[in-house]
Structure 1
Amino acid sequence: MIFAVLSYAPILHAERTQLPDKIQVDQKESVTKVFADADEWLNSGVLLKKGMKYKISASGRWSLGPICGTTGPDGVGNSPVCGGAYVSGSGSLLVGRIGEDGEPFAVGRGVEFTAGEDGALLFKVNGGLKIFCSGHVTVKTIALSPPVEQKVFSGKSDVDEIPIIKTTSNRNAYAIVIGIENYRQKLPKADFAVNDAKLMGEYLSRVMGYPEENIVTLINEHAALGDFVKYFEKWLPNNVEKGGAVFIYYSGHGAPNTKTGDAYLVPYDGDPLFIAETGYSLKRMYDALNKLPAREIIVALDSCFSGAGGRSVIAKGARPLVMNLQSNMALSGNMTVLSASSGEQISSTYDEKGHGLFTYFLLKGIKNEDVVKPDGSIKLDDLFGYLKPQVERIARKQYNNEQTPQLIGSKKSSR
C-alpha cells in the first residue's frame, strides 16, 4: 500500500533551492526532472517527514561532457577523471539531500530510506563542472509507509537496578564500551544501543571491578572510525599491562563485506556501500587485542553481521550472507567472544525491557545468584549457560526468530 502523505509543488529547474510557497497535500507520488547543467540543487517540491520511509527511482541519460561520457543516473561508464563533488564515486551519479544543510547521499537508479529529519528533498548531479553538461534524468519519489514509531522505553527494567556486590577494584582492568544508535549515514536506528552501552559501563564499574577512569564509553558521534582506531590501537596498548584484564562491549550495527565475507562493526560515520573503507573489521579489532599483554580479554557483541536485518545493515542491492563468525576470528588463547547471534541470524531488541535482547540477559545473568559464585566471581560458561536459552526462548516467543548466542574462545572467569 502507498500512503498519501507526500507534499508536492512544482519548481523550475535552475532556481535556487527554496521551499515551495504552496503545498498540495495527499499526493501519492512526485515526479521531477533533474538537469545535468543545473548550477543549484533542485528542490523536488517534496517535503519529507521524519520517520517516513521513501522510495526514489530515476531513469534517463545525461552527460558531463565528451570526456566524461554519457551515462544513466547511476553514473556507470563515466570516465574516472570525472569524479564526484558531493559523494565519492562517479561524477554522473544522481545524489540527493534533505534540506540546505543535509548530508548528500547517493541515489543512482534508486534507493529506499527512512527520513531522519523533516525537510525538502533536493537533487543534483554529483559532478562539479557544468560547462559541457547536457541531458536530464526523471526522478520519481514515493512514500512507502507512515512515520516509523520510535521505540521509547520510559520506565526501568529489572536490570536497570544495579546489584550491590562487593568486588575488589582491579587497577589493571580496562574497558571500551560502544553504543551507536543513530548514524550519520541515516542508517536504520539501532534501538536501545545507547541505553545498553551506558548501563554496561555502570555494571563494569560498580559490579565487575573496573575503575571508572579505566572505562572509555563511546556514544553515537563520539564513536566514529577514528575513535575506534584511537582507542583500540593506541589507548589500550599504552595502558594495559601484563596480567591485566580487558572488556570490550559493542552495541550497534554490524555489516558484511559482500566481496570478502569479512564482518565489520559500523562506526558512527560508517557506510555499508564502502564498508571496507569506513568500517572497523572484527579481524582488525582481534589483531589489536591479540597484541595486548592482558591475562584475560572478553568481547561482548550485541550486533549481527549477515545484513539480514535486526542490528545489521548491508549495501543496497546486496544479498544477506550466511557468515561463519568463527572463521573470521583469530583469537589468542586468553580471549573469549560472546556474540548475540550466529552468523546467519539477526539480533533482536527486547522492547518491553528497553535493551537489546542479548544485552538484557547478559546483565541479568551478571546479577543472577545462580551464576555469581560466593566469592563474587563469574565463570563465562555459567553466564553463557544462563543467557543462551533465555535469549532463544524470547526470540522465538515474541519475534518468531531463531537467535542463538555464541561463545567462542577460552571461556575463563569474567571477574
Structure 2
Amino acid sequence: MNTKKLLSFIMVLMLAINVSAESFTYFNRGIAFKCKVKDGKVVITGFDNKAAMVVIPAQVKNKKGHTLQVSTVDLFQIALVYKTRTVVIEQGITEISKLCFYGFTQLSEVYIPNSIALVGEKAFNPKTTTKFNMPSTIHESDLLAGNVIYTKAVVPTYSDPIAGIDLSNYGDDSAAGKDEVSSVKPSAPKITSITPGTSDIDMNIPRSSMSRENTFCLIVANEKYANQDTPNVKYAAQDGKTFEEYCLRTLGLPRDNIRFAINAKYLEMKEMLKWFGEVADVYGKDANFIVYYAGHGVPDEKGNCKLIPADVSINDVNNGYSLKEIYTSLGKLPLNSALVLIDACFSGNDRQNVAALDETHRGIAPVVKQEAVTGNVVVLTAASGTETALAYEEQAHGLFSYFIMKKLQDTKGEVSYGELYDYVKKNVMRKSVVAKGKKQTPCVTVSPKMLNTWKNIKF
C-alpha cells in the first residue's frame, strides 16, 4: 500500500471512529445528560452528580436534532460520587452497565422498567438502603449480590414498576440548552400527558410507623371494559395501584386487610363487598372500612346511580352495581366507621368529557339522585350532579384521586375526613375550572347520625 492510499485509509478510519464515538449533551427536565453514540444507539454516561432526583430518558436528540434511542446507562466513573437519591429509568432502555450505580452512595429509590434485558455485575452498591421498584423477572437478592442478570424484556403494562418524580418541579428542556428560553402563550397552555406511574404522588409515598390492624379496604379500579361500546377510563388502573400503596405504606394497613381488583366483573365486586360483611361479623365496632372505586358510573332512567363493572356495557345500565345497594349494605354493618371514595361521575361522559353513552341512552337522567347513606358511613364523590369526573393528564391520574392521595402524601396520613374533603374540593374545583375549562365539584354525603362528628374522624 503506497503512502497516499495509506493516508486515505487512515482518514476514513478516523472519520468512522469519530462518527461512532459521537458525544453530545442532551437536556431533559432541566438536567444535562452526557451521551455517547455506539453502533447507532446511545449510552448515557453521566449527569450532574448533585441532582437529587433524575429521570433518565429513553430517547435523546443529537446536535443535528436527530432522535436516537438510548440503549444503555453506564454512569460509573472512578472516584466520582453521586448524591442522587432517586433514579427513574424510562421504558425502552435495555441495559444497566457494570458498576453503573455503584458510586450512588445516597441512592434510596430506583425504578427499573420492564424493558431492561441486562443488568451488569455490581451495578448497585450493596451498602446502600436502596428500594428497588422493578419487574418480577429481576430479584433484589441478585442485585445486592452483584450478579449479572439476564432477563427477557417485555411490553410495558400497568404492572410496569417504572414510576417517577415530582415532574412539576422540572421543565422540559430537552430541546434547549440551559441559557435558551422558549416563549409560552398563557392563553393556550399545553397539556402534557405523562406515563402512568410517573406522577409526584407515585413518588416518595410516606411510610407510617403505625399498623392499623382493624382497618380494611376494598379497591376497585375499572379501566378496561370488555364491551366495545364502553370506552376505557383513562388512568383508573394507576389510581387503584397508587391508592393501594398509600393504604399499605402511609395508612399502615396489613396487606391481608386489602382486596384490590383491576377491571373487576360484577360478581367479583359483589364478592368483595360480601367479604366486608364477614369481617364486620367478627370485628364489629373495632372495624374501620375504606371503599375506593375508580371507573365508569352512570344513572338509570330514574336517576339512580350505578357503578359499571368491567363485564357490563355502560349502555346496559340495569346491570350496573347500584350505589344505593352498596350504601345500604355498609350502613347495616356493625362497624366503627366506613369511608367511601368514588372517582366516577354520573353524567354519562368519560374522563375526557366525551359522551360515553350511545345515542339511545344519552340524556336519560337529567337529574341524578343523591343516594342517602345510613349507619357510620361517609361518602366522598368526585363530582356533583351531572358534572364530569375529569382526568388529570399532567399527573396521569383522575383529578379527584390525585388530590385525595396528594393530601395523604402531604400529611403522612394524619388527616381527618373533614380536612381531606375541604382540601380535595377546593383543589379539584380550582384545577378543573382553570386548567380544564369545566367545573368539577366533589361532594360529601353522611348519615344523619354523623352530621356533627364525621369531620373529626381520622383514618
TM-score by length of 1: 0.58
1:384 is matched with 421
* Candidates 398, 403, 408, aligned match of 2:435: 398
* Candidates 312, 322, 327, aligned match of 1:270: 312
Q: Matches of residues 145-294 of structure 1 in structure 2 within 5 Å?
A: 153=195, 156-186=198-228, 187-220=230-263, 223-232=264-273, 234-240=274-280, 241-243=283-285, 244-258=287-301, 260-276=302-318, 278-294=319-335
1:188 deviation in Å? Answer: 1.0
Q: Matches of residues 283-322 of structure 1 in structure 2 within 5 Å?
A: 283-310=324-351, 313-320=356-363, 321-322=365-366
Q: Deviations over 1:219-245 (max 9, x none)?
A: 01xx0000111111x211112321210
Q: Deviations over 1:358-388 (max 9, x none)?
A: 011110011224xx6xxx6311111111111
1:401 deviation in Å? Answer: 0.2
Question: Counterpart of 1:206 in structure 2: which amino acid?
Answer: R
Question: Counterpart of 1:214 in structure 2: which amino acid?
Answer: N
Q: Deviations over 1:285-305 (max 9, x none)?
A: 112211221101000011001
Equivalent position SS for 1:261: coil
1:414 is matched with 458
Residues 365 and 323 of structure 1: is their aligned pair in 2 closer, same or farther, counting only changes over 3 Å? Answer: farther
Write the distance in 1 (CA, Å) between the matches of 2:271 and 2:247.
21
Question: Counterpart of 2:265 in structure 1: which amino acid?
Answer: A
Q: Deviations over 1:51-75 (max 9, x none)?
A: xxxxxxxxxxxxxxxxxxxxxxxxx
2:397 is matched with 355
Structure with the bigger percentage of strand: 1
Question: Counterpart of 1:249 in structure 2: which amino acid?
Answer: Y
Question: Counterpart of 2:432 in structure 1: which amino acid?
Answer: A
Write the distance in 1 (CA, Å) between the matches of 2:290 and 2:205.
19
Residues 184 and 154 of structure 1: is their aligned pair in 2 closer, same or farther, counting only changes over 3 Å? Answer: closer
Gap runs ≥5 in structure 2 = 1-191
Structure with the bigger percentage of helix: 2
1:16 is matched with none
Residues 189 and 231 of structure 1: is their aligned pair in 2 closer, same or farther, counting only changes over 3 Å? Answer: same
1:180 deviation in Å? Answer: 0.9
How many residues are treated as equivalent by the alignment? 254
1:199 deviation in Å? Answer: 0.5
Relative contact order higher in (CA < 8 Å, ≥ 6 apart): 1
1:42 is matched with none
Q: CA RMSD of the aligned region, Å?
A: 2.1
Q: Deviations over 1:257-304 (max 9, x none)?
A: 12x21110000011233221x210101111221122110100001100
Equivalent position SS for 1:362: helix
Greater Rg over alpha carbons, structure: 2
Equivalent position SS for 1:332: coil
Q: Deviations over 1:244-265 (max 9, x none)?
A: 100000001101112x211100
Write the distance in 1 (CA, Å) between the matches of 2:345 and 2:222.
14
Write the distance in 1 (CA, Å) between the matches of 2:260 and 2:359.
31
Q: Which moved more, 1:179-188 or 1:285-294?
A: 285-294
Equivalent position SS for 2:441: coil
Question: Counterpart of 2:434 in structure 1: which amino acid?
Answer: K
Question: Counterpart of 1:365 in structure 2: which amino acid?
Answer: K
Question: Counterpart of 1:400 in structure 2: which amino acid?
Answer: G
Residues 262 and 315 of structure 1: is their aligned pair in 2 closer, same or farther, counting only changes over 3 Å? Answer: farther
Question: Counterpart of 1:286 in structure 2: which amino acid?
Answer: Y
* Candidates 409, 421, 443, aligned match of 1:367: 409
Residues 325 and 175 of structure 1: is their aligned pair in 2 closer, same or farther, counting only changes over 3 Å? Answer: farther
Residues 264 and 165 of structure 1: is their aligned pair in 2 closer, same or farther, counting only changes over 3 Å? Answer: same
TM-score by length of 2: 0.52
Q: Deviations over 1:203-229 (max 9, x none)?
A: 011111221111010101xx0000111
